[in-house]
A and B are shown apart, each in its own frame.
Chain A
């Protein structure tokens, strides 16, 4: 139990589907992150939310749409994805302010396969 829960753990979708990944953290953190992890590639930071405001969007295609309704929940809405979007999507959270050493707390990931 990491304190960061991601659902679903596995998702298979067609290129025309619309689906969402969900992340929930129970650690009282104010920042949440989406990372993409593809085989043989470094971790890619996709989005960062701090105090529910998006503070970073690393040139991610618009077919990925994040939503952060409150500091405990983070969504990644997916639509018209491509097969190359198949990857492990990791959610993470961290505190903000003076207590922030940069340490991230990760969920178990959502394994996405786009057919």
Chain B
């Protein structure tokens, strides 16, 4: 079955420290991978995507993600966290076959950055 897993419900980081939000996926073809961020009572905002090419993808607000095919992972990273980065983060993969074209979302990870 095609799926996305975000193993941590919550990640706590001190401001200025690096952050990592983990994501692993299972998909039958070459993965198209996405990260979205959701602030309270708002919709999901696109952060970055991996389609092909360089395994390190840079996105909005200083975030980046590294595609690792052997580990089937697409972890989201930022070198120095800000309090304003506190939000809910979703990883997603494009499905194939009978889930073709649709995004399959992880359950989300709550990031909390403390001053």
Contact = CB atoms under 8 A, between A and B. Distances in A.
Contacts, number: 51
Interface size for chain A: under 10, 10 to 19, 20 to 34, or 35 or more residues?
Answer: 20 to 34
Interface of B: 32, 34, 36, 41-46, 49, 51, 90, 92, 94-95, 101-103, 105-108
Given A42-B105, A104-B103, A111 B32 contact: no
Contacts of B102: 45, 48, 56, 102
B107 A42 contact: yes
Interface of A: 2, 4, 6, 42-43, 45, 48, 56, 88, 90, 92, 96, 100-109, 111
A106 B45 contact: yes
Contacts of A105: 46
Nearest to A107: B43
